[in-house]
Structure 1
Amino acid sequence: MSLLDVSPVVPVVVVDDVARAVPLAEALVRGGVRIIEVTLRTDAALESIRRIVDEVPDAVVGAGTVTTPALAAAALAAGAKFLVTPGTTDSVLAAAADTGLPVLPGAATVSEAMRLAELGYSDLKFFPAEAAGGIPFLKSIAGPLPTLRFCPTGGITATTAPTYLSLPNVGCVGGSWLTPTTADPSTIERLAREATALRSG
């Protein structure tokens, strides 16, 4: 199964406190969201991935914001099940591929998307979605690039997500609204349930 087919919404999670990782992941799973992208933006990120892998077996946890070859290797060592890059350089893409994990490489332009397609990638992250053209951009490239599907991320909200998901070249969206920094597990579970109700088409 493609990463884009696991859930309509992939929660993009920034964890500052390792102690929050497992309760957060458990709440998402209870709400029906099994896939979790933990961004490698904090010192707590890699240990958070380790703990979720060890303690929440129903979660499919990956590492986001993979911006260097070293981060790709570290994510693999932490037990990540997939990698997400915000953009794509040769060295990062090669290191990500070397891990053997599924990779969702980032693209923000037609040329970047075409290059990744040439390299064999058909599922891409479109980032930063809203700043890079959003829904009009994705509509405009569906014709010339019909084999590509996207997970747009960046500036998407619960309000705009359904419109993104209605596009034929969007498999899912990434969003941070499922896991607000101050939210308790019951709130995260409710937001996850609402997210699982979002469907394309």
Structure 2
Amino acid sequence: MQSTDRLLPILTGQPVIPVVAVESAEEGVSLARALAAGGLPAIEVTLRTPAALDAIAAIVAEVPEAICGAGTILNPSQYEAAVKAGSKFIVSPGATVELLDAAQESEVPFLPGSATPSELLAMMQEGYEVLKFFPAEQSGGLAYLKSLAPVFQSLKFCPTGGVSPDNAKDYLSLPNVVCVGGSWVAPKALIKDGRWDEITALASEAARLKG
């Protein structure tokens, strides 16, 4: 199946995938080191800042212990740029025909966002078995994912959006959830102030989460 064999080892390697935005390559490198030190080597750097692509390239070059992916990919040109920067996986909040075509042509695995039954069916037809569920809380959260499990038995999810330390364990306890995405392990204030030890501590707590 498309991407599954390459993507699952990344997503099952840790219960929480940090979803982060950075303002410089240097900040990205320090953040990736702090998160990896806490047991969260896989990190999703979102393309929400001008520095994102440079940060991804720097993390790939300077933090070998990290598995750096790119998130908030909205079109094929961003997909291509993220792959060129060295991203190990690509995450999108949704999926379009153009994005799916770009993923089909790339060796870098793709985690597309899907929420409705029709979207899930479409992704299954494209060969996807692992999907991002976004925005998780706003789309129905735990109860919604639980109701999907008996109908879409082959699908696994990474819920992102509104996931926090308060509900992460509940999500992780669901049989169709492989991991969660969250930004709480790298708060903007801690990143801005360079409080990397505190981020490592948060990552360590998240790395021990189990359903």
TM range (shorter): over 0.9
TM-score, with length taken from structure 2: 0.93
Tell me the CA shift for residue 113 of structure 1: 1.0
- Of 95, 99, 107, which residue of structure 2 is paired with 1:88? 95
CA RMSD of aligned residues (A): 0.9
Partner residue, 1:71 = 78
- Structure 2 match to 1:162: 169
Counterpart selection for 1:123 from 115, 130, 133: 130
Matched-pair identity in %: 50
Given candidates 150, 163, 182, the residue that maps to 2:189 is: 182
Q: Secondary structure at the match of 1:26?
A: helix
Match of residue 195 from structure 1: 206
Aligned to 1:59: 66
Take 2:204 and 2:185, find their aligned partners in 1: how far apart are those partners? Answer: 10
Gaps of 5+ in 1: none
Spell out, residue by residue over 1:124-163, the C-alpha distance to the aligned partner (whole angstroms, 9 max, x if none): 0000101111101100000000110000000110111000
1:160-181 deviation line (CA, Å, top 9, x unaligned)? 1000000000000000001111
Q: In 2, Cα distance between the equivalents of 1:56 and 1:96?
A: 25
Shift of 1:67: 0.4
The corresponding residue for 1:100 is 107
String of CA shifts for 1:71-109, please: whole Å, max 9, x gaps: 000001100000001000000121123221111111011
Cα contact 1:53–1:61 (8 A) shared by 2: yes
| Equivalent residue, structure 2, for 1:34 | 41
Q: Give, in whole Å, the separation in 2 of the partners of 1:132 and 1:102.
A: 25
Structure 1 distance, partners of 2:45, 2:104, is: 19
8 Å contact kept, 1:72–1:99 = no
1:41-74, Cα deviation, whole Å (9 max, x unpaired): 1101000000000000010000001101000000
Deviating above 4 A after TM superposition, structure 1's stretches of 4 or more consecutive aligned residues are none
Q: Among residues 26, 30, 44, which one is paired with 2:51 in the alignment?
A: 44
The alignment covers a number of residue pairs equal to 200
